[in-house]
């Protein structure tokens, strides 16, 4: 039962990660920054609006945000809350998680193409290409931790890591895996150095340009879905790094939450300290992540 | 058994009847397509009964042919392939009855249906044959009859050339299969599979060479790279219901052949597993990369068949590794995933080819960059194509995910233990499947998005297809969803089929696919949750928007007021980031005329991706052979007297040879 409570906490808390990132960026940029609850205000405001649909679009455009959000919500119930098992834990659950994110992407990309706009087509094309390259890297990284722990479900893997710890001898493995997962986390969530969530030039955007024509409820679905995706991939990264202790139930949960906040701060620091890569460099970054994960795997198998 | 044999007879008789009806479209179609539909439906119950645990009595009749006997039987492995054959053939016949109408002017539809029914009958025969000679005869009929189906529009030069490529590929493969059976039956009086299986355990030469011959021979039919070159030629040339049948089922007969020969070859070597995983990775990844670069919808789908055959090969490879290292669960998951994917691919690839045919029929072209916005004029085709596209990308809650999951689950699960040499190919399988999945999603968002979404890129208005074409598509789309949700139940059906492959291993066969039950149950639970959640979100949005202003406006074009449909992102531009990345493999030829001056008048861009394997391997090889044989041309000069002399000399030579020996 408590696992469900944790999942609902994740549903509630995930937009807050965005505000931590934004606040970090504001502080480092010497600004005061938006209120900490701004992402919630945005979503509430969007829900109160009417809707404008492009006359080019069909039902696919309306299905996109709904399917995308639904798939990501299911993912939240698959990803464990640190060392706490998820309500939907089973052997091979990370395969389902990766493919649910794929389903969400399939419909977001289709909805973007439904507008008939070249800008959105451009974003859709990049999203599809970069995710295709991120996917093998994710599987390699997860295969490495799976073999290290001998477990086949995310909950089992994180539980085992928290019980045994990485240990001094496998520190390189931990470092390589988490670096690969961090790159995947940044790329899949459209953060710098792959995509800039604050950019205003359509030609250089990836994720933001795909949702140009969405508004009102649909945009609220998309923004909430994006924050959930941030949570899901962040939780996988934090679970591999520092999942907390399973025995002290609530304290472990709080520690994990702290870890997620720290990850958001780190994301904010990365965004403040470096520029976005040129688009042609992104595939190299992603295959680099795959390479790191493969290296970790070799070390595990040694 | 009897029912299945009766339906084979029914297929052939109705084909012959259609043939005699000849050029009368209505009569020929009623006899041919109607006969095929009825025969397939009536053979369904006994086949399903065998899958659900029933038994059937094998039939064994002596035959005058050397080494031959009329020996047929249906075991669960045959039944697992018969189900997609029967389902897809029935639906394709229904679809074809309406599809052919607009192409049939001045053509003999009777002949078409004759060869269509012959193809279906021969595929059924291949799966139930239990004697090498009978198998080869059925195999040859199955290889020849599609040629006449491909050549339906034989007035087009590209169709004739495709038919030629098909014929060569089919026969080169058949040669290897012939040699395979000859080597297998060297020490035996008959090529009955039962006898061969008994001696399989002590093959003197080692099964390796035989396995190689089987993989090449059957792989040419299945479309393993580099033997895939006929697929992208033949599928676009054939009428769409024939493409669906060929891609959905006929190429799977190659997979059936490999699985059936595994039952004859005894215990596999771990190397076989490595080989199949290598074949699977190269076919899967290269297939989908080539698909990304295609401009023709049916050519794109043909390359996706290569990709999916690669996934099936990965499953077989994982299964072989399990069998070779004595891990029954791994073996069952690998083979089970492969057989499950055969069924699933038959359904969604059949659906996609029928959808492509509907596009070709309704919009008069299958060139992706000339189409657009078809979802509005062809709502049923569009919705069905979307389901097929999501299913082939392996996305939950549809069927493609379930079979890929079995392979993932087996591969990753077994990679947790064992040596690096054992775990590496398994992890490569998982990573390769992930890459294939991501690329397939990119390719099918391209295909669906550019063809069905946005604004039409051409003037001509498209129309939805007739009811006989819509019903098969709707049925197949429904099956994609149903199989996806009920995948734990399908495991019980796959179990016996896997047991047939592992039967020579004794204790291996006992424990089956059971470990996968719980994960698949959880997946179907999550899938159901996903569906309800989506519906709930849509209803919530509807409820909230009620009473508020919902308007429509043009798409945002950054302030540009006069957008045209031609400004939309095209399929080529959509795929460019990926095709650019894989340029070394694709060797895409581009013709560019850049816009010049301040007021550019004309600019031009064209790209074309030819098959590197065809251009670099097969064309030079065949040209070389042709050059070699042209040296013998002096023998052929048209003088009949000398030809008679050749015959006389040959006879004399044979006579002397006989006398000496």
What phi, psi does B65 have (nearest 5°)? -60, 135
- Please list the ranges in chain B whose pLDDT falls under 70: 22, 199-206, 504-512, 661
What phi, psi does A190 have (nearest 5°)? 60, 45
Burial class (CB in 10 A: 0-12, 13-18, 19+), B226: middle
**How many helical (H) and strand (E) elements, i.e. helices and strands, does chain A have?**
11, 1
The CA-CA-CA angle for residues B119, B121, B126, to 5°, reads 90
Instruction: Report helix angle A171-188 to A282-301, nearest 10.
Output: 150
Q: Do B550 and A53 touch (CB under 8 A)?
A: yes
Tokens 């009964």 locate to B49
Distance between CA atoms of residues B33 and B461, nearest Å:
30
- Core vs surface per residue B349-384: b (16+ CB within 10 A) or e: bbbbbbbbbbbbbbbeebebbbbbbbbebbebbbbb
The answer to whether the bond into B185 is cis (omega within 30° of 0) is no
Q: Do B438 and A117 touch (CB under 8 A)?
A: no
Tokens 């030079």 locate to B620
Q: Do B441 and A66 touch (CB under 8 A)?
A: no
Q: Which of B415, B525, B529 sits opposite A147 (nearest CB)?
A: B415
Instruction: Give the confidence band of A114 by pLDDT, cuts at 50, 70, 90.
Output: very high
**Nearest residue of B to residue A127, measured between CA atoms:** B442
Q: Do A202 and B558 touch (CB under 8 A)?
A: yes
Q: Is the dihedral of CA B560, B565, B567, B570 positive or negative?
A: positive
> Among B330, B449, B456, B578, which would you mutate to test the A interface (most chain A Cβ atoms within 10 Å of its Cβ)?
B449
Distance between CA atoms of residues B345 and B350, nearest Å:
8
Res A189 pLDDT > 70: yes
What part of A 216-235 touches B (C-beta under 8 Å)?
Answer: 216-218, 221
Is the separation of the CB atoms in A129 and B578 below 8 Å? yes
Distance between CA atoms of residues B197 and A13, nearest Å:
62
Is the separation of the CB atoms in A116 and A56 below 8 Å? yes
Q: Which residues of chain A are within 8 Å of residue B520 when distances are taken between CB atoms?
A: none
3-state secondary structure of A246: coil
Percentage of chain A exceeding pLDDT 90: 70
Q: Which of B408, B526, B551 sits opposite A52 (nearest CB)?
A: B551
pLDDT at B510: 57
Residue A290 is part of which domain span? Answer: 2-301
Q: Which residues of chain B are within 8 Å of residue A106 when distances are taken between CB atoms?
A: 390, 393, 395, 441, 444-445
A44 in reach of chain B (CB within 8 A)? no
pLDDT at B183: 85
**Nearest residue of A to residue B580, measured between CA atoms:** A280
Distance between CA atoms of residues A292 and A286, nearest Å:
10
CB neighbourhood size of A201 (10 A): 9
What dihedral do alpha carbons B384, B386, B388, B394 form, nearest 10°? Answer: -150
Q: Do A114 and B448 touch (CB under 8 A)?
A: no
Is the separation of the CB atoms in B284 and B321 below 8 Å? no
CA atoms within 13 A on the CB side of B485: 11
Q: Do B568 and A121 touch (CB under 8 A)?
A: yes
Beta bridge partners of B61: B70
Q: Which residues of chain A are within 8 Å of residue B547 when distances are taken between CB atoms?
A: none
Res A25 pLDDT > 70: yes
ipTM: 0.96
A154 in reach of chain B (CB within 8 A)? no
> Among A52, A85, A99, A277, which would you mutate to test the B interface (most chain B Cβ atoms within 10 Å of its Cβ)?
A99
Residue A48 to chain B, least CA–CA distance (Å): 8
What phi, psi does B604 have (nearest 5°)? -155, 135
Is the separation of the CB atoms in B507 and B327 below 8 Å? no
What part of B 333-372 touches A (C-beta under 8 Å)?
Answer: 372
Q: Do A60 and B453 touch (CB under 8 A)?
A: yes
A188 in reach of chain B (CB within 8 A)? no
Beta bridge partners of A40: none
**Nearest residue of B to residue A105, measured between CA atoms:** B441
Q: Do A102 and B552 touch (CB under 8 A)?
A: no
Mean pLDDT of chain A: 91
B522 in reach of chain A (CB within 8 A)? yes
How far is C-alpha B631 from the chain's CA centre?
39
Q: Do B556 and A62 touch (CB under 8 A)?
A: no
pLDDT at B623: 92
**Nearest residue of A to residue B383, measured between CA atoms:** A60
Residue A228 to chain B, least CA–CA distance (Å): 15
Q: Which residues are CB-neighbours of B169 under 8 A, at least 6 positions away? A: B220, B227, B229, B230
Q: Which residues are CB-neighbours of B164 under 8 A, at least 6 positions away? A: none
Tokens of A131: 């995710």
pLDDT at B556: 83
> Among A117, A213, A228, which would you mutate to test the B interface (most chain B Cβ atoms within 10 Å of its Cβ)?
A117
CB neighbourhood size of B316 (10 A): 27
Per the rule left: phi > 0, alpha: psi between -120 and 50, beta: everything else, A151 is beta
Q: Do A126 and B577 touch (CB under 8 A)?
A: yes
A54 in reach of chain B (CB within 8 A)? yes
Is the separation of the CB atoms in B439 and B578 below 8 Å? yes
Q: Which of B437, B534, B555 sits opposite A102 (nearest CB)?
A: B437
Residue A144 to chain B, least CA–CA distance (Å): 9
B533 in reach of chain A (CB within 8 A)? yes
Q: Do A122 and B430 touch (CB under 8 A)?
A: no
Distance between CA atoms of residues B605 and B594, nearest Å:
8
Q: Do B552 and A54 touch (CB under 8 A)?
A: yes
The answer to whether the bond into B573 is cis (omega within 30° of 0) is no
> Among A94, A136, A146, A300, which would you mutate to test the B interface (most chain B Cβ atoms within 10 Å of its Cβ)?
A136
Pairing mode, if any, of strands B69-72 and B59-62? antiparallel
What part of B 546-585 touches A (C-beta under 8 Å)?
Answer: 548-558, 563, 565, 567-569, 573-578, 581
3-state secondary structure of A173: helix
pLDDT, average across residues A109-119 = 92
Distance between CA atoms of residues A102 and B441, nearest Å:
8
Burial class (CB in 10 A: 0-12, 13-18, 19+), B649: exposed
pLDDT at B88: 96
Which residue from B226, B280, B235, B293 is spatially nearest to B613, judged by alpha carbons? B226
Q: Which of A120, A152, A218 sits opposite B413 (nearest CB)?
A: A152
Q: Rounded to whole angstroms, what are the CA distances from B289 to B538, B578, B581, B598?
A: 35, 8, 10, 38
Is the separation of the CB atoms in A70 and B541 below 8 Å? no
Which residue from B258, B269, B307 is spatially nearest to B77, judged by alpha carbons? B258
Our count of domains for chain A comes to 1
DSSP symbols for A93-152: HHHHHHHHHHHHHHHHHHHHHHTT-HHHHHHHHHHHHHHHHHHHHHHHHHHHHHHHHT--
Tokens 């058994």 locate to B1
Beta bridge partners of B296: B367
Of A60-69, A144-153, B493-502, least confident by mean pLDDT is B493-502
Distance between CA atoms of residues B359 and B379, nearest Å:
11
Which residue from A235, A72, A69, A262 is spatially nearest to A142, judged by alpha carbons? A235
Q: Do B416 and A147 touch (CB under 8 A)?
A: yes
The answer to whether the bond into B397 is cis (omega within 30° of 0) is yes
Instruction: Give the confidence band of A248 by pLDDT, cuts at 50, 70, 90.
Output: low
Residue A252 to chain B, least CA–CA distance (Å): 27
CA atoms within 13 A on the CB side of B451: 33
What part of B 384-423 touches A (C-beta under 8 Å)?
Answer: 386, 390, 393-396, 401, 405, 408-409, 412-413, 415-417, 420, 423
**Nearest residue of A to residue B430, measured between CA atoms:** A139
What dihedral do alpha carbons A28, A226, A2, A93 form, nearest 10°? Answer: -120
């Amino acid at each position: 039962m408590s696992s469900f409570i944790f999942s609902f906490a994740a549903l509630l808390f995930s937009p807050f990660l965005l505000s931590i990132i934004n606040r970090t960026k504001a502080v480092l940029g010497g600004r005061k920054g938006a209120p900490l609850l701004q992402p919630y205000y945005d979503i509430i405001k969007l829900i109160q609006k009417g809707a404008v649909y492009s006359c080019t679009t069909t039902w696919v455009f309306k299905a996109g945000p709904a399917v995308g959000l639904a798939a990501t919500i299911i993912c939240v119930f698959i990803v464990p809350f640190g060392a706490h098992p998820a309500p939907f834990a089973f052997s091979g659950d990370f395969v389902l998680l990766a493919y649910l994110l794929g389903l969400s992407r399939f419909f977001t990309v289709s909805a973007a193409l439904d507008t008939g706009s070249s800008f959105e087509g451009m974003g859709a094309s990049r999203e599809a290409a970069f995710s295709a390259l991120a996917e093998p890297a994710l599987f390699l990284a997860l295969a490495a931790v799976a073999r290290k722990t001998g477990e086949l479900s995310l909950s089992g893997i994180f539980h085992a890591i928290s019980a045994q710890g990485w240990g001094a001898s496998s520190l390189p493995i931990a470092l390589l895996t988490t670096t690969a997962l961090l790159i995947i986390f940044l790329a899949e969530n459209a953060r710098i150095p792959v995509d800039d969530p604050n950019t205003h030039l359509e030609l250089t955007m990836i994720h933001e340009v795909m949702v140009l024509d969405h508004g009102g409820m649909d945009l609220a679905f998309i923004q909430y879905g994006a924050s959930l995706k941030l949570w899901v991939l962040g939780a996988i990264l934090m679970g591999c790094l520092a999942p907390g202790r399973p025995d002290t139930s609530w304290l472990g949960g709080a520690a994990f939450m702290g870890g997620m906040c720290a990850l958001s701060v780190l994301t904010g620091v990365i965004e403040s300290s470096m520029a976005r890569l040129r688009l042609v460099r992104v595939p190299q970054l992603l295959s680099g992540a795959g390479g790191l994960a493969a290296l970790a795997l070799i070390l595990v198998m040694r | 058994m009897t029912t299945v044999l009766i339906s084979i007879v029914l297929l052939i008789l109705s084909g012959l009847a259609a043939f005699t009806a000849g050029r009368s479209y209505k009569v020929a179609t009623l006899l041919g397509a109607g006969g095929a539909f009825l025969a397939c439906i009536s053979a369904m119950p006994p086949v399903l009964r065998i899958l659900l645990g029933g038994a059937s009595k094998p039939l064994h009749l002596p035959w005058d042919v050397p080494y031959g006997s009329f020996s047929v039987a249906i075991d669960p492995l045959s039944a697992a392939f018969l189900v997609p054959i029967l389902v897809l053939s029935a639906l394709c016949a229904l679809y074809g009855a309406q599809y052919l109408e607009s192409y049939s002017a001045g053509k003999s539809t009777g002949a078409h249906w004759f060869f269509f029914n012959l193809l279906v009958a021969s595929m059924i025969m291949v799966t139930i044959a239990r004697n090498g000679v009978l198998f080869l005869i059925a195999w040859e009929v199955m290889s020849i009859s599609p040629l006449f189906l491909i050549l339906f529009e034989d007035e087009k030069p590209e169709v004739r050339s495709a038919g030629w490529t098909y014929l060569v590929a089919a026969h080169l493969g058949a040669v290897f299969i012939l040699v395979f059976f000859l080597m297998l039956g060297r020490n035996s009086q008959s090529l009955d599979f039962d006898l061969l299986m008994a001696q399989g355990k002590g093959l003197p030469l080692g099964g390796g060479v035989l396995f190689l011959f089987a993989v090449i021979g059957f792989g040419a039919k299945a479309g393993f790279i580099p033997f895939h070159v006929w697929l992208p030629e033949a599928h676009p040339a054939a009428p769409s219901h024939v493409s669906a049948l060929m891609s959905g089922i006929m190429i799977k007969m190659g997979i059936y052949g490999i699985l059936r020969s595994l039952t004859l070859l005894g215990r596999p070597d771990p190397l076989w597993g490595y080989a199949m995983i290598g074949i699977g990775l190269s076919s899967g990844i290269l297939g989908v990369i080539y698909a990304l670069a295609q401009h023709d919808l049916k050519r794109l789908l043909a390359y996706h068949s290569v990709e999916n055959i690669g996934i099936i090969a990965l499953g077989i490879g994982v299964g072989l590794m399990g069998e070779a290292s004595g891990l029954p669960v791994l073996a069952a998951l690998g083979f089970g995933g492969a057989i499950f994917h055969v069924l699933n691919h038959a359904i969604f690839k059949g659906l996609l080819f029928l959808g492509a045919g509907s596009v070709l029929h309704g919009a008069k072209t299958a060139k992706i960059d000339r189409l657009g916005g078809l979802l509005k004029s062809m709502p049923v085709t569009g919705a069905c194509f979307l389901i097929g596209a999501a299913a082939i990308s392996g996305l939950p809650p549809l069927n493609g995910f379930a079979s890929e999951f079995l392979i993932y689950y087996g591969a990753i699960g077994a990679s947790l233990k064992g040596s690096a040499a054992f775990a590496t190919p398994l992890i490569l399988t998982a990573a390769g499947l992930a890459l294939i999945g991501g690329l397939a999603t990119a390719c099918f968002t391209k295909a669906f998005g550019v063809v069905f979404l946005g604004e039409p890129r051409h003037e001509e208005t498209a129309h939805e297809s007739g009811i006989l074409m819509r019903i098969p598509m709707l049925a197949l789309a429904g099956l994609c969803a149903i199989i996806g949700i009920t995948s734990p139940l399908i495991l019980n059906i796959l179990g016996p089929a896997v047991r047939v492959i592992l039967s020579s291993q004794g204790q291996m066969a006992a424990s089956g696919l059971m470990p996968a039950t719980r994960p698949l149950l959880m997946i179907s639970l999550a899938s159901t949750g996903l569906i309800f959640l989506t519906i709930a979100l849509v209803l919530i949005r509807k409820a909230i928007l009620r009473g508020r202003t919902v308007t429509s406006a043009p798409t945002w074009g950054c302030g540009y007021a006069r957008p045209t449909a031609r400004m939309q992102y095209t399929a080529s531009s959509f795929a460019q980031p990926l095709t650019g990345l894989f340029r070394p493999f694709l060797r895409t030829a581009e013709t560019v005329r850049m816009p010049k001056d301040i007021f550019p008048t004309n600019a031009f861009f064209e790209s074309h991706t030819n098959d590197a394997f065809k251009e670099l391997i097969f064309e030079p090889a065949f040209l070389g052979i042709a050059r070699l044989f042209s040296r013998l041309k002096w023998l052929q000069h048209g003088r009949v007297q000398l030809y008679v002399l050749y015959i006389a000399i040959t006879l004399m030579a044979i006579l002397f040879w006989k006398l000496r020996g």
